[in-house]
Chain A
Amino acid sequence: MINLLTSGSGFFLLLLFYTLGAIGSLIFKKKDEWANGWQSLFAIVGSLWGIFFSISAFMTGDLSFAAYSSVFPLLSFSFHIDQLSAFFIFVISLITLFCSLYGIGYIKHYYKKYSISALGFFYHLFIMDMLMVVTASNGLFFLIAWEIMSIASYFLVVYDHNDVNNTKAGFLYLVMTHVGTAFIILAFLLMYKFTNSFDFESIQAQSVAIPVFIKNSIFILALIGFGTKAGIIPFHIWLPAAHPAAPSHVSALMSGVMIKTGIYMMIRLFLDILQPIPLWWGITILIIGSLSALLGVLYALAEHDIKKLLAYHSIENIGIILLGFGSALVFISLGNTLLALFGLGAALFHTLNHATFKSLLFLSAGSVINQTHTRNMEEYGGLIKYMPQTAFFFLVGSMAISALPPFNGFFSEWLTFQTLLQGMTSVNILVKSTFVLATGALAITGGLALACFVKAFGATFLARPRSTEVAHAKESSLSQLIGMGALALCCLLFGIFSGYLGSLFKNIGTHLTVFRNISLPPILSSKINFIAPNNFGSVSALALIVFLILALFIVVLLVKFVINRNQKTKIGATWDCGTNLTQRMEITATGFARSIILIFAGILRPSIQNEIEYRDSKIRYFPKSRTVTLRTRDIYRLYFYLPLNKFITTLSVRAKAIQSGSINMYVFYILIAVAIALFLS
């Protein structure tokens, strides 16, 4: 059993599970229940096996094997699983396990509407390809897996194709990812040009042959290509459109794990293959990271569609991961590999945490949408009374994402803060100012994320229902609750055992080429607590949580049973200074975020529109209803993407003039071609 786990066939068994799941769900075209059962069963079994395999692969270290020789010359289906890929397989399988668990209950509401077998097929194809993306060690094979992953996720995004803006979102998504892949192909081709092979090992061996200018252009191309997939700021416009359109357990997978494949490949490229790297690479990634973090959370605040809000938060968390990764790059180029390892550990730990709490949030948002049939937060309210467990899980998720102590979000942000702090001590002014900018951005993002999730949780679950839909919402089914519960538990466990996990991230780094030669491994963390290098600070997750619970217990004991034993508590109406409280009196999500949006008006460019509906259209004095909509303009689409689109379409309309219809003109083209060709030869 063990050698099966640690050999290549273990990985093929994993892929086999998913292929069987995909083909199986195609067979049950007619019977929805069977298709749902089959696909969920295989997904769960596959992901369980994936978790065991990744843990064993993590322990045994490097593992490289090839599938079968391909028909095409430069392509070889070869895999290489080192600690980094094993970690990412673990993250993918963990989240797939819980999403498939959740999916059993969630897919029920698609039964009569769409073909469940298609959902199963693409779902399994999508996961299989993510696994292949993180383990491929041949450029062409990587591109194949990357492209199939995008196409499978496109079909999942467009799954609910009755709604027209889902197809629009799907279109935007596939176009953006395809353009991103074009950039990645260009980067690989440039590497092929100087090392004339696509295998990562041989590229890395001859990476010294690549001239500096080419290496910089490869960096920029890879940054744009993988940045589009990861959703960094200038290339993020597909993310808030595509993730909400997909079914919830798929959008949880997409924003929890798929955008991390971009990060994985950046780590593989910049830290493993293209060493040694200049300083300005790390600085650019730091700047992009802080921009994405800050702007991501600002756009999330201005958003009132719950899934769009969570999608923007993915951009923010990708920004935080990039901060960790960027500081690692800066430290390497400055020669301090010890700190670089610490920074990489912070980035990887945050990837794991973000995967858990983001998928938890998406799953709970999914069940909320399932009950209320709308994604607009203004129509929620008071759901905690109808869906108590989902509300609790959403609360756990939002506490974890806004980095509040007992949960895992806080400890990865603590690590990122420590790396940035070390960066600030450097003498070079440029490096110090970028680190100060990054720390400021991270700090303010933390605050704004907190505000955003108070708004999200408060507007959705607390106070009174704002629409009739909420009144007949029921608690989500058992499988959904198990899925969410397990994820919430993961958030807590990763928080508590973050000390132990820290040591795992240490030896992820040591296996990348750049860290192979460092002598003393840093005491990244002993069993109980994190210790930053040059003992800059240490925190023990266990002690913190024990303190909190103990203090809470004592306070409740003292106040409830000692001091206040014989007092009575009476349930009365909320104080309403005389008028009867209607649900219009509550604060809405727009109201909540209005002050922050007005403060950051420069960036968000809000526009307030109020339509007034009069009782009698002629006499415009008695308004029947007044709706105020606060919208922020999407400056990227307005000032970059639409003009680009218009330019290409005018170009194409002008090119159509070639087909002018007159036969004489066509023959004239041939004469011109002959003349020019003869003249040149």
Chain B
Amino acid sequence: MMIFIWILQLICVPALSPLCMGIIKKIKAKLQNRVGASIFQPYKDIWKLLHKDEVISTDASWVFRFAPFIIFATTIVIGASIPLFASFLKNTLTGDLLVVVYTLALGTFFLALAGMDTGSAFGGFGSSREMTISALAEGCLILALFTTALSIGTTNLFVISNAGMLLSTQFFLSTILAFIGFFIVLLAETGRFPFDNPATHLELTMIHEAMILEYSGKRLALMEWAVANKFFIFATLGANLFFPYGIAHSVDTHAIVIGIIVLLIKIFILCAIVGIIESTMAKFRFFRLPDLLITSLILSALAIGLIQMQIL
């Protein structure tokens, strides 16, 4: 039974993430009153790209060739160590908050290097902008996640999500502030709207797209898939750490099914919010992004300040 749940946990992230991408595109299309592609279109795109031929630039080194595999593998590992639907797994080996943050950083590291490897101007600028944002975002992410860790008293994600009714207890205000900080970081890290327009190829604005400009064929598929996984991971972190309702506490199948359904609903709500933000808000100028990130930093620092839990 446990093995089945472990397999479910492993395949859940790569399986569901293109779905979220599809949902967001569908919501944006609906808001711009056009029909838009079906929500399963990303699956088809990834499948198509996996089977196409590939062109690799002469200047590229093994870093360019090998980066997609590393990035995709990191998303798989993180997928296994975050609480999706079951919080009783207690993966004390790698289920730690800092492991998740720094493995994500490993992915961004190779993404930026791959961007610079081909020697085109777009790749270089893309990595430079990506590293600027992720440098600040990582700080806010750690502080935001630390608020939940402090309120429960441990950095193990599964134990945090297992803690149940966080909002109703005395940490209500700090969790809300932390969630807002976390949400800003979510938009920054996954390259969503106020930070970077995922749909455009305009070299003046694109950050994430510029790095994977040179990829084609199966490597591009892996890259797209990894981006989708990353978004899904951030969404589940946001959902399960700050609002850990409906997550399965015991091993019986009934609780797990409810857990999965509740997870999907929460993810759907988050995708809706992101979709709405993308259609209503304009993309910020690059040098106004740090102010946004610093507000998120201050929010999480404030949230920690408010926690009066006395361990020491």
**Residues on the B chain within 8 Å of A532, using CB:** 155
User: Does the CB pair A450–B108 fall under 8 Å?
Assistant: yes
User: Does the CB pair A450–B131 fall under 8 Å?
Assistant: yes
User: Does the CB pair A539–B51 fall under 8 Å?
Assistant: no
User: Does the CB pair A534–B105 fall under 8 Å?
Assistant: no
Q: Does A443 contact B (CB under 8 A)?
A: yes
User: Does the CB pair A444–B308 fall under 8 Å?
Assistant: no
Q: Does A482 contact B (CB under 8 A)?
A: no
- Selected interface stretch from A251-259, A490-498, A549-557: A549-557
**8 Å CB contact of B74 from A336, A548, A576:** A548
Q: Does A581 contact B (CB under 8 A)?
A: yes
For chain B residues 70-106, which have a beta carbon within 8 Å of chain A?
70, 72-74, 76-77, 80-81, 92-94, 96-99, 102-103, 105-106
- Interchain nearest-CB distance for A425 vs B (Å): 4
User: Does the CB pair A451–B309 fall under 8 Å?
Assistant: no
Contact with A along B292-312 (1 / 0, CB 8 A): 000001000100110111111
Q: Does B191 contact A (CB under 8 A)?
A: no
User: Does the CB pair A447–B124 fall under 8 Å?
Assistant: no
**Residues on the A chain within 8 Å of B106, using CB:** 399, 404-405
User: Does the CB pair A563–B50 fall under 8 Å?
Assistant: yes
CA distance A427 to B311 in the complex (A): 9
Contact with B along A454-474 (1 / 0, CB 8 A): 110111011110000000000
**Residues on the A chain within 8 Å of B263, using CB:** none
CA distance A592 to B112 in the complex (A): 11
Most chain A beta-carbon contacts within 10 A, residue among B60, B112, B134, B311: B311
**8 Å CB contact of A552 from B53, B69, B123, B307:** B69
User: Does the CB pair A569–B304 fall under 8 Å?
Assistant: no
User: Does the CB pair A575–B127 fall under 8 Å?
Assistant: no
Which bucket holds chain A's interface residue count?
A: 35 or more
Most chain A beta-carbon contacts within 10 A, residue among B80, B98, B108, B222: B98
Q: Does B246 contact A (CB under 8 A)?
A: no
- Interchain nearest-CB distance for B215 vs A (Å): 11
- Interchain nearest-CB distance for A466 vs B (Å): 10
User: Does the CB pair A586–B218 fall under 8 Å?
Assistant: no
CA distance A414 to B233 in the complex (A): 21
Q: Does A529 contact B (CB under 8 A)?
A: yes
- Interchain nearest-CB distance for B311 vs A (Å): 4
User: Does the CB pair B102–A436 fall under 8 Å?
Assistant: no
Q: Does B128 contact A (CB under 8 A)?
A: yes
**Residues on the A chain within 8 Å of B98, using CB:** 413-414, 417, 537, 539
**8 Å CB contact of B94 from A454, A459, A547, A585:** A547
- Interchain nearest-CB distance for B259 vs A (Å): 23
Give the nearest-CB partner of A420 in chain B.
Answer: B146
Q: Does B250 contact A (CB under 8 A)?
A: no
User: Does the CB pair A405–B99 fall under 8 Å?
Assistant: yes
**8 Å CB contact of B128 from A410, A440, A581, A592:** A592
- Interchain nearest-CB distance for B222 vs A (Å): 7
User: Does the CB pair B154–A587 fall under 8 Å?
Assistant: no
- Interchain nearest-CB distance for A378 vs B (Å): 13
**8 Å CB contact of A537 from B60, B116, B117, B156:** B156
User: Does the CB pair B217–A585 fall under 8 Å?
Assistant: no
**Given A551-B76, A595-B286, A421-B93 contact (CB < 8 Å):** no
**Residues on the B chain within 8 Å of A571, using CB:** 55-58
User: Does the CB pair A596–B135 fall under 8 Å?
Assistant: yes
Most chain A beta-carbon contacts within 10 A, residue among B117, B139, B307: B139
Q: Does B290 contact A (CB under 8 A)?
A: yes
User: Does the CB pair A596–B132 fall under 8 Å?
Assistant: yes
**Residues on the A chain within 8 Å of B123, using CB:** 587
CA distance A334 to B312 in the complex (A): 9
CA distance A63 to B116 in the complex (A): 54
User: Does the CB pair A573–B154 fall under 8 Å?
Assistant: no
**Residues on the A chain within 8 Å of B81, using CB:** 547
- Interchain nearest-CB distance for B116 vs A (Å): 4
- Interchain nearest-CB distance for A421 vs B (Å): 6
Q: Does B136 contact A (CB under 8 A)?
A: yes
User: Does the CB pair B124–A443 fall under 8 Å?
Assistant: no
For chain A residues 354-387, which have a beta carbon within 8 Å of chain B?
382, 384-385
**Given A425-B311, A450-B138, A552-B69, A537-B129 contact (CB < 8 Å):** no
Q: Does A339 contact B (CB under 8 A)?
A: yes
**Residues on the B chain within 8 Å of A529, using CB:** 92-93
- Interchain nearest-CB distance for B131 vs A (Å): 4
Contact with B along A489-522 (1 / 0, CB 8 A): 0000000000000000000000000000000000
CA distance A167 to B134 in the complex (A): 40
**Given A421-B146, A563-B218, A540-B94 contact (CB < 8 Å):** yes
Q: Does B150 contact A (CB under 8 A)?
A: yes
User: Does the CB pair B120–A534 fall under 8 Å?
Assistant: no
**Residues on the B chain within 8 Å of A448, using CB:** 135
Contact with B along A525-542 (1 / 0, CB 8 A): 000110010111111100
For chain B residues 220-263, which have a beta carbon within 8 Å of chain A?
222
**Residues on the B chain within 8 Å of A543, using CB:** 93-94
Q: Does A157 contact B (CB under 8 A)?
A: no
CA distance A461 to B132 in the complex (A): 20
User: Does the CB pair A384–B132 fall under 8 Å?
Assistant: no
**Residues on the B chain within 8 Å of A535, using CB:** 154
**Given A444-B135, A537-B97, A586-B124, A385-B310 contact (CB < 8 Å):** no
- Interchain nearest-CB distance for B56 vs A (Å): 6
User: Does the CB pair B116–A458 fall under 8 Å?
Assistant: yes
CA distance A599 to B286 in the complex (A): 10
User: Does the CB pair B96–A539 fall under 8 Å?
Assistant: yes
User: Does the CB pair A447–B113 fall under 8 Å?
Assistant: no
Q: Does B4 contact A (CB under 8 A)?
A: no
**8 Å CB contact of B312 from A413, A425, A440, A556:** A425
For chain A residues 547-583, which have a beta carbon within 8 Å of chain B?
547-548, 551-552, 554-556, 559, 563-564, 567-576, 581, 583
Q: Does B118 contact A (CB under 8 A)?
A: yes
User: Does the CB pair B154–A440 fall under 8 Å?
Assistant: no
Q: Does A432 contact B (CB under 8 A)?
A: yes
User: Does the CB pair B124–A587 fall under 8 Å?
Assistant: yes
CA distance A105 to B76 in the complex (A): 42
Most chain B beta-carbon contacts within 10 A, residue among A448, A463, A544, A583: A463
**Residues on the B chain within 8 Å of A138, using CB:** none
**Residues on the A chain within 8 Å of B142, using CB:** 417, 439, 443, 446
User: Does the CB pair B105–A404 fall under 8 Å?
Assistant: yes
**Residues on the A chain within 8 Å of B308, using CB:** 427
- Interchain nearest-CB distance for A420 vs B (Å): 9
User: Does the CB pair B310–A458 fall under 8 Å?
Assistant: no
User: Does the CB pair B287–A591 fall under 8 Å?
Assistant: no
Could you show 16 A-B contacts with beta carbons less than 8 Å apart? Answer: A404-B106, A414-B99, A433-B305, A444-B136, A444-B138, A454-B113, A457-B113, A458-B112, A463-B116, A552-B70, A563-B50, A567-B218, A568-B53, A570-B56, A592-B128, A595-B129
Q: A536-B149, A538-B93 are in contact. List 11 more A-B contacts (CB 8 A).
A: A382-B59, A421-B149, A425-B309, A444-B136, A447-B135, A537-B97, A551-B74, A574-B59, A587-B125, A595-B128, A595-B129
